Amino acid sequence: MSSLEVISKNENTMSVKLKDIPLQYSNALRRLCLNGVPVFAIDTVDIIENSSVLPDEGLAHRLGLVPIKTDLTRFNEPEKCECHSESGCSNCRVMLVLDSGDTDVTKAVLSDELTSEDDSVKPVSDKIPIVQLAPGQRVKVECYARLGRGREHAKWNASNIATLVETDKDNERILTVESTGALNPEDIILAGVEELRNRMGEFKDVLEQLKAD
Ligand SMILES: [Zn+2]
């Protein structure tokens, strides 16, 4: 009988033993854990002021790569949200603002200066450098974060690494997932299993439809 057993777990990394699960499904699960589970990332940035040496696109890119804590139970992916709105709603979009203010010393703007309108959706760490400012320079931006998947852009990858290693036993492999911090690794694996189940279901429906035709 196929089984999935937790063999080690800490804050950001988890390993599970996959027993009697065919290689192609095990590998599909690994890929889903890497880039098929939705997490938040900053997607749109409105630059109100940027007198730093970093061009606007560079600043937006830096902000997009900041891992954001994600609560999958409360938010919808935009294309599945009932608002059906291009601009989004409070169930599918979260605004974060950053205003460095004026500085008279050289300083690094860190992720702790990003203030979110939703307490549960914020950078996973306070110490991620975003931009360096010289005296007199300032950045002021409004950012919008949304759920997305890593296959669209790597900034939505749920995991830094997801590996599948053979053991010396027949048909037994170890899946190890290292989270970016957006989700805990357990939730990534559970969401990956759920996603795999959905896709298998859809595939079966398509096959049955073909047969019926
Ligand atoms: Zn919405």
Single-letter residue type at 30 = R
Query: pLDDT (tens digit, 0 to 9) for every residue of the chain, 213 residues total?
Result: 888 999 999 999 999 999 999 999 999 999 999 999 999 999 999 999 999 999 999 999 999 999 999 999 999 999 999 999 988 999 999 999 999 999 999 999 999 999 999 999 999 999 999 999 999 999 999 999 999 999 999 999 999 999 999 999 999 999 999 999 999 999 999 999 999 999 989 888 888 988 887
Residue 12, CA distances (Å) to 87, 176, 185 in order: 32, 11, 6
What is the distance in A from the centroid of ligand 1 to the CA of 48? 25
Region of 79 please: left (phi>0), alpha (psi -120 to 50) or beta.
alpha
What is the distance in A from the centroid of ligand 1 to the CA of 90? 6
What is the distance in A from the centroid of ligand 1 to the CA of 94? 10
Closest to 100 in 3D by CA, of 86, 111, 87: 111
Give the span between the Cα atoms of 83 and 76, in whole angstroms: 10
Closest to 105 in 3D by CA, of 128, 129, 82, 136: 136
Residue 48, CA distances (Å) to 138, 140, 143 in order: 10, 5, 11
Q: Taking the model in full, what pTM does it have?
A: 0.91
What is the distance in A from the centroid of ligand 1 to the CA of 87? 8
**What does the domain layout of the chain look like in residue ranges?**
3-37+158-212, 39-150
DSSP summary character for residue 68 = B
Q: Are the CB atoms for 125 and 180 separated by under 8 Å? A: no
Residues sharing a CB contact under 8 Å with residue 85, sequence separation 6 or more, in sequence order = none
What is the distance in A from the centroid of ligand 1 to the CA of 26? 33
CATH code 3.40.50.2300 for 3-37+158-212: no
What is the distance in A from the centroid of ligand 1 to the CA of 136? 39
What is the distance in A from the centroid of ligand 1 to the CA of 72? 14
- What residues pack around ion ligand 1 (CB closer than 5 A)? 81, 83, 89, 91-92
Single-letter residue type at 124 = V
Give the span between the Cα atoms of 113 and 6, in whole angstroms: 37
**CATH number for the domain formed by residue range(s) 39-150:** 2.170.120.12
What is the distance in A from the centroid of ligand 1 to the CA of 67? 21
DSSP summary character for residue 23 = H
Q: Are the CB atoms for 100 and 140 separated by under 8 Å? A: yes
How wide is the angle at C-alpha 83 spanned by C-alphas 182 and 202, nearest 5°?
A: 70
